[in-house]
Amino acid sequence: MARTAVFCPGVDQEMREAIEKMVTAKWVLQKDVHDGKGSTKSLKQVDKETTLFIMSHGNPIFPVFQTRLGKWTGPEMAKLLEKNSLRKNHREIVLLVCNAGSSLSDEANFQRRSPMIKELQMLERKDKVQFEDKLVLWNKEKKDLKQFDSNVKGSLETRILPLAAQLVAELKSLKFLNIRVTCYRTPVSQNFLPIKGDETFRITLDTKGFEGKNFKERESDPAIVEKYKVIWQ
């Protein structure tokens, strides 16, 4: 298998557990796990031919990288990679980030990708008490994101352009001229444990809502993965 490394901008417990699964599956070595602090393991150690996985959550409302420790726009992630000494001639980055290849400005995509909206719609019909509780959480999330949005310049552009496109544009401006970023237009599963007898690294997508009635909730079929893959360079 080709050399791989993992970078997470904010390693919370959930991200730590997901990364540990990758290490257990031997898809990445522990010494090639990097966080975003800039003071522990420098990305300068990562060879330019290594595939660097960036791991975080996406967001159904706003194109950002996020963990429980913070949110980062595409340009902020690019600057973080530079701060952590990623080589300027680095080539391959793969985003293990939900919907990083999609524009969140499309209302139909937004509705389809947001499980909380669907849950609210169901609860409004069936359980008014739970509906009100969930609505409080939903409005808090929207308020937090609205405040985050107000601090980002060019908010129209940052809503329309996919997260991966924003990342690549900023990396190019920082003179990462050889960079290529692979991402996906669907949610990405963090289940990295290997299939028994098969040590091949598999990107697994959550294609629910994308493949119609016959979807598989967790899909690692190479043809399906390829269908939703997007490459920016």
For residues 106 and 160, give the distance between their C-alpha atoms in angstroms, rounded to a whole number: 8
Query: What CATH architecture is 4-106+156-232?
Result: 3-Layer(aba) Sandwich (3.40)
pLDDT at 165 over 70: yes
Confidence band for 215, pLDDT divided at 50, 70 and 90:
very low
Backbone φ, ψ for residue 200 (5° rounding)? -70, 135
For residues 123 and 221, give the distance between their C-alpha atoms in angstroms, rounded to a whole number: 34
CA 122, 126, 131, 133 torsion: positive or negative?
Answer: negative
**How high does pLDDT run on average in the chain?**
76
3-state percent breakdown (helix, strand, coil) of the chain, nearest 5: 40, 15, 40
pLDDT at 224 over 60: yes
Average pLDDT over residues 118-122: 67
Q: For tokens 């959930």, name the residue.
A: 14
Which tens digit of pLDDT belongs to each residue from 126-150? 777 777 777 677 666 655 555 544 4
